[in-house]
Amino acid sequence: GECRIFVHGYGNAGDAALHAIAFPDAAAHCGRVLTPRGATAARAAFSAHVEENPIFETELVRYHYESFTLPGMTYLYNVRTKEHQLVRQQPVPNFDPSLYRAERIKTPRRAVPISLVYRKDIHPQGLAGGPFPVLLTGYGAYGACSDPDFDGNRLSLLDRGVVYALVHVRGGGELGRSWYEEGRYMAVKNRFQDFVEAADTLVDLHVAMPRRIAAWGTSSGGLLVSASANLRPDLFRAMLLEVPFVDALNTMRDPSIPLTTGEWEEIGNPNERDYFYYMLEYSPYDNIRMEAYPAALVTSSLNDAMVGYWEPLKYVSKLRCLSVAEDRPILLQADFHAGHGAASDRYKCLQDSAFHFAFLLDQLGLAGAHLLGAGGNGAGGMQGSER
């Protein structure tokens, strides 16, 4: 929980000491932990790693540091003089990190961590001043960690009053191997239950309200969001599903589809009876029913070798047939050139992000919200139509 990493020297007794490297100016940007009962404790919400150091006999260590509210920085640290040298910093024009705050809470029952990021001058009372428009996201697969990293695109949402909430559901590796194992095989449904409890917790704490929560998931994160929406469609106003893994049962039964056999090591093989019936209980496409579903923007890529383009198409078609919420659009964005990742053209990538954010802001009632600059006051960030 401290803003530092450790480096062990190699050599004679004097050089073999354990060096604790405290990140420069990190304390001011560390997040804090907020429990549902309101108790707080100083903690760091950051991402750091030691970079490649090809020279073996050296006094210098190269490391990288960033957080939700601080752009990435690469330092050289001298283990002898204990001096830091900034060698690279991610450029973010007109960005003032003091305007943003990161906090972390845990759900009361399942102890699921939720990282929250928001703009302080728009929400001067912090999380106590809610409810707010919330963008809820997560991943929860392969033991991957959703690290507290900096995303310049995210500022566009924060500067309009959106609270960004990242749920660290089981299936991810944030809390160790056991946290990962509790979201695999015959425990995959834990991911969705964690995500739903996170949304319920934000509502109970008056941080959010159901008609102003949008959920965002990409690839396996799309499985997380769409399966959670099947469980509790009343919780979400909108879903942004990017190349989502939504036809899990049919895809996992076909070993000719790329990555299917490898995925059996993650969620099981439905050609085996027990896994078939378990997967049938949560596969998003198979569990769409006649309900008032959230608005949805679903993306698909023709050249996607990881999630077949037909999965989002089938999902959208069925959702349009069965959702009874006539005022909530269900949109499909098909890209005939991209693969599983974003468009390779950086301008096309930014255009897609702008389109996705426009959809989210519209559904959150912030379509007319004024974008605050680095020195703006909090008055304009929450303007917009109420939904």
Tell me which of 108 and 369 has the higher pLDDT.
108
Exposed/middle/buried for residue 67 (C-beta within 10 Å: 0-12, 13-18, 19+):
buried
Residue 26's pLDDT band (boundaries 50, 70, 90)? low
Instruction: Tell me: do 29 and 116 sit in the same domain.
Output: no
Is the pLDDT confidence value at 308 over 60? yes
pLDDT at 154 over 90: yes
Residue 375 lies in a domain: no
pLDDT at 383 over 50: no
Q: Is the pLDDT of residue 142 over 90?
A: yes
In degrees, rounded to 5, the angle at the alpha carbon of residue 100 between the alpha carbons of residues 94 and 104 is: 150
Could you tell me if 335 and 297 lie in one domain? yes
Q: What angle do CA 287, 292, 293 make, to 5 degrees?
A: 60
Range(s) of the domain holding residue 85 = 4-89
pTM above 0.85, yes or no: yes
Concerning whether 304 is annotated as a catalytic residue, the answer is yes
Predicted local distance difference test score (pLDDT) of residue 376: 40
- CA of 171: how far to CAs of 177, 183, 218, in Å? 9, 4, 15
pLDDT confidence of residue 384: 44
One domain for residues 224 and 327: yes
Give the tokens for residue 116: 């929250």
Domain count, the chain: 2
Q: What's the CA angle centered on 48, arms 46 and 50, to 5 degrees?
A: 170
Sheet holding 134-138, edge to edge: 40-42, 32-34, 100-106, 113-119, 163-167, 134-138, 213-218, 238-242, 295-301, 330-335
Q: 71-85, 120-134, 135-149, 367-381: which has the highest mean pLDDT?
A: 135-149
Q: How far apart are CA 193 and CA 381, in angstroms?
A: 32
76 and 183 share a domain?
no
Question: d(Cα 125, Cα 342) in Å, to the nearest integer?
Answer: 36
Q: Under DSSP, is residue 267 helix (H, G, I), strand (E, B) or coil?
A: helix
Mean pLDDT throughout 95-124?
Answer: 94
For residue 190, give the CATH number of its domain.
3.40.50.1820
Q: How far apart are CA 330 and CA 328, in angstroms?
A: 7
pLDDT of 386 > 50? The answer is no
- Do 16 and 141 fall into the same domain? no
**Residue 331 and residue 352 in contact, taking contact as beta carbons nearer than 8 Å:** no
273-288, pLDDT tens digit by residue? Answer: 999 999 999 999 999 9
Closest residue by Cα to residue 193 from 282, 127, 118, 104: 282
**Residue 385 pLDDT level (bands cut at 50, 70, 90):** very low
Pair (237, 322) in one structural domain:
yes
> Given this model, what pLDDT does residue 381 score?
45
Question: Which run of H or E residues covers position 287?
Answer: none
- Written as one string, the DSSP assignment of 109-154 is TT--EEEEEEETTTSTTGGGG----EEEEE---TT--------GGG
State the CB neighbour count (10 A cutoff) for residue 211. 18
Percent of the chain's residues with pLDDT above 70: 83
Q: Are residues 240 and 313 in the same domain?
A: yes
Residue 380 pLDDT grade (very low, low, confident, very high; cuts 50, 70, 90): very low
For residue 374, is it within any domain? no
What pLDDT does 314 receive?
Answer: 97
Is residue 184 domain-shared with residue 281, that is, in the same domain?
A: yes
The gap between the terminal CA atoms of the chain, to the nearest Å, is 39
The pLDDT-based confidence of 382 (bands split at 50, 70, 90) is very low
The stretch 240-267 carries a mean pLDDT of 94
Amino acid 6: pLDDT: 59
Q: Is residue 378 situated within a structural domain?
A: no
**Span 356-375, average pLDDT:** 83
Neighbouring-strand partners of residue 215:
136, 239
Residue 159 bears catalytic tag: no
Could you say which of 58, 89, 120 is where a domain stops? 89
Domain C-terminal end among 58, 73, 89: 89
Q: What is the pLDDT of residues 29-47, one digit of tens each?
A: 444 444 333 433 334 578 8
Residue 381 maps to a domain:
no
Q: Which candidate in 47, 67, 146, 219 is catalytic? A: 219
**Averaged pLDDT for residues 329-333:** 96
- Which two structure tokens, joined as six digits, stand for 250? 């049919």
Which tokens in the block code for residue 284?
């998003």
Residue 204 is among the residues annotated as catalytic for this protein: no
Q: What would the mean pLDDT of 334-358 be, rounded to a whole number?
A: 82
Question: Per the residue annotation, which of 194, 304, 335, 362 is the catalytic one?
Answer: 304
Do 84 and 101 belong to one domain? Answer: no
Q: Are residues 188 and 309 in the same domain?
A: yes
Q: Considering the domain boundaries, does residue 294 fall inside one?
A: yes
Q: Is residue 383 part of a domain?
A: no
Asked whether residue 146 is domain-assigned, the answer is yes
* Mean pLDDT of the region 374-382: 43
Q: Using CA atoms, how far apart are residues 137 and 350, in angstroms rounded to an integer?
A: 19
Q: Quick one: pLDDT at residue 3?
A: 54
pLDDT tens per residue across span 170-212: 999 999 999 999 999 999 999 999 999 999 999 999 999 998 9
Same domain (yes/no): 73, 190:
no
Q: Is residue 232 in some structural domain?
A: yes
Q: Are residues 68 and 143 in the same domain?
A: no
Residue at a domain's end among 89, 122, 145? 89
Give the pLDDT of residue 33: 42
- The answer to whether residue 21 scores a pLDDT higher than 80 is no
Say yes or no to pLDDT of 363 above 90: yes
Mean pLDDT highest for which of 3-17, 39-53, 204-218?
A: 204-218
Q: Which candidate in 19, 84, 340, 370 is catalytic?
A: 340
